[in-house]
Structure 1
Amino acid sequence: MAIFSLSLSWASTTLSQKLSVPGSNEILPRVAAFSGNNSVTCTVEATVNEESNCKRRLLLLGVGALTTSLVPANFLFAEEIPKNYTSFVDFEDGYSYYYPSDWIDFDFRGHDSAFKDRTKQLQNVRVRFIPTEKKDIHELGPMEEAIYFLVKHRYAAPNQMPTIYSMQEKTVEGKNYYTFEYELTSPNYSSVSFATIVIANGRFYTLIVGANERRWRRYRSQLKVVADSFKVLDI
């Protein structure tokens, strides 16, 4: 079984329109998503299988690997990534965010990307999107009503009691975002999360980052950085 490894460094490697896998006749599409991991090792058989977990790891190439031919200059240099965070960018699906550098990627059912703490399963971030004909989150109605509906009827399970602590709105590059903090309490445990939502590209995007209620106070500030970093890109 052939195995290949990719190692990339800041602005030193140019990626072509297609990526050729050594030892195979298969030609892979241009990489469209990446994170701060600096190397990827996959079997050829797994990489050409679009359903494999290895494809996700191949896409998670180092943030420094893409040159300005793939990354707009204003995106690369507009802001500095906070210390102890890594940037994840998905150009194909049109979004980006930061996550703690010591977290690892994992499969979260129904979500496009997800990262978690290595030892705390409930401490994680995940992103999903669904098609929509709406153009802006203001079309959901007043912020308070829209957020209450989402938390009560979309995020909370039947046996969970929701509590909303805060909500805020911001506008970045003409796109409106809601970010809100909420707790879900069930008979067995409680979790607290930040959610950031935005509508763009004909999609309703949702990022949720949270932790067990007992750890929330300690890690709240760290997780707020993740929630505030979520940004959609034009595709």
Structure 2
Amino acid sequence: MLQHQTQRNFPKSVQMSLFSRLKTPVSEHFRRESDRDCVESSLKTKDFAVPRRKAMALILSAYIFAGGGFGSVAFAQQSLVGLREYVDTFDGYSFKYPKNWIQVKGAGADIFFRDPYILDENISVEFSSPSSSNYKSIEDLGPPELAGKKVLKQYLTEFMSTRLGVRRESKILSTSSRVADDGKLYYQIEVNIKSYANNNELAVMPKDRLVSLEWDRRYLSVLGVENNQLYELRLQTPENVFVEEESDLRRVMESFRVNKIAV
């Protein structure tokens, strides 16, 4: 059984950097962009697709993504069926993603890919500033349960809405830790968030304000520490899609690695 340390005390600047984000959340920024602006990469085959999308995938099979010319960032040969590896040697991380997903540039994260058909399904990586953080281990966050609460709080902050009649429901589904094949400890956090809205939020009578479900999503985070930095891989998917693609999405989560940066 893994032994977890209690949460440590850090300088104020380090504490403030936990799960720090840009002012505009990645997901909100992405939804406001048009498809014409977002599609920066070629479409690839959909070996990763569930049966209901295989027909469309075959149509796109001629558009194979060609990696290259990205300096320290390399798209390695796929080692799992339907997945392609993304390696960033400059920032020190790697992961595998569905090979037909497209990269969205300018989305706010260090790297951002999304499904070409399901716009609510995407993956991104963010990490703390190297100049203001001094993490030695993922256990600096405390046990996985405590880290899960921080992750959920950050999600709710990002998806806070100023619209009248909007209500969010959230819960932590699971928190766990694992030692990967690189010998490093990683935390995995899964949360569910539902968004409800009134169809007539200005109605005087409650009976005229009908509440409906806007979206129901699962958010999966993998946390790791290297180079004195906290790294987070984020995977977002609608709950109904997660049911169909769970095994493949978990392979994506388990592929995340943080790597030592060569000085």
TM-score normalized by the length of structure 2:
0.59
- Superposition map of 1:1-235 within 5 A: 37-38=65-66, 61-64=74-77, 81-107=79-105, 109-131=107-129, 132-151=133-152, 153-156=153-156, 157-158=159-160, 159-172=167-180, 173-187=182-196, 188-235=214-261
Moved more, 174-183 or 224-233: 174-183
Q: Amino acid of the residue matched to residue 169 of structure 2?
A: M
Structure 1 SS opposite 2:230: strand
Moved more, 103-112 or 116-125: 103-112
CA deviation profile, 1:87-109 (whole Å, cap 9, x unmatched): 00000000000001111111363
Write the distance in 1 (CA, Å) between the matches of 2:67 and 2:95. Answer: 20
Write the distance in 2 (CA, Å) between the matches of 1:86 and 1:115. Answer: 12
Question: Which residue does 2:55 correspond to in 1?
Answer: none
Structure 2 SS opposite 1:189: strand
CA deviation profile, 1:113-132 (whole Å, cap 9, x unmatched): 11111111111111011122
1:175 and 1:200 in contact (8 A); partners too = no
Distance 1:39 1:108, change over 3 A: closer
Which protein, 1 or 2, shows the higher relative CO under an 8 Å CA cutoff with sep ≥ 6?
2
Q: CA deviation at 1:37?
A: 3.9
Structure 2 SS opposite 1:204: strand
Write the distance in 1 (CA, Å) between the matches of 2:76 and 2:227. Answer: 23
Write the distance in 1 (CA, Å) between the matches of 2:95 and 2:108. Answer: 18
Question: Identity of counterpart residues, as a percentage?
Answer: 26
Q: Amino acid of the residue matched to residue 97 of structure 1?
A: F
Structure 2 SS opposite 1:146: helix
Write the distance in 2 (CA, Å) between the matches of 1:224 and 1:161. Answer: 24
Q: CA deviation at 1:201?
A: 0.7
- Where structure 2 has 5 or more consecutive residues not aligned to the other structure, the ranges are 1-63, 161-166, 197-213
Structure 1 stretches of at least 4 aligned residues deviating more than 3 Å after TM superposition: 58-62
Q: CA deviation at 1:39?
A: 5.2
Write the distance in 2 (CA, Å) between the matches of 1:62 and 1:218. Answer: 26
Question: Which residue does 1:74 correspond to in 2?
Answer: none
Write the distance in 1 (CA, Å) between the matches of 2:96 and 2:88. Answer: 12
Q: Amino acid of the residue matched to residue 63 of structure 1?
A: A
Write the distance in 2 (CA, Å) between the matches of 1:143 and 1:112. Answer: 24
